[in-house]
């Protein structure tokens, strides 16, 4: 079984992460056969600012995963799955130590 992960973060209006003042229930949804969400209900615990969910990859393609919470706007992200083998490559990076 191939897996993927989705993180949901609590943030202020400026996009800066903030800690939850109380447990916050997050509902995840998707309407596709590309991924299968392992848990549709996640909880950001008091004092934390994010939670991580898991999904099972079912098929290749692109889908949306949405997250919603009470009295907050629903947000979505696009997920593209490509399980076919691709040719391998190497990458080269150059960096210098401090002078």
The CATH number of residue 64's host domain is 2.60.40.10
Residue 86: per-residue pLDDT: 63
Judge if pTM exceeds 0.75.
yes
Residue 98: per-residue pLDDT: 55
Domain count, the chain: 1
CA angle 73, 29, 49 (to 5 degrees): 55
Residue 99: pLDDT band (50, 70, 90) is: very low
Q: Tell me the average pLDDT of the chain.
A: 88
Residue numbers of the domain that contains 9: 3-81
CB 36 within 8 A of CB 68: no
| Three-class secondary structure of residue 20 per DSSP | coil
The answer to whether position 86 is within a domain reads no
> Strand 75-81 and strand 41-44: pairing?
unpaired
Strand partners for 8: 51
| Three-class secondary structure of residue 41 per DSSP | strand
């Amino acid at each position: 079984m191939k897996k993927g992960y989705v993180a949901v973060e609590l943030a202020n209006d400026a996009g800066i992460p903030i800690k939850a003042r109380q447990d916050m229930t997050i509902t995840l949804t998707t309407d596709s056969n590309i991924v299968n969400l392992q848990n549709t209900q996640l909880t950001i615990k008091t004092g934390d600012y994010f939670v991580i969910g898991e999904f099972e990859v079912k098929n290749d393609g692109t889908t949306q995963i949405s997250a919603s919470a009470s009295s907050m706007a629903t947000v979505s992200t696009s997920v593209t799955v490509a399980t076919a083998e691709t040719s391998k490559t190497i990458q080269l990076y150059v960096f210098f130590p401090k002078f």
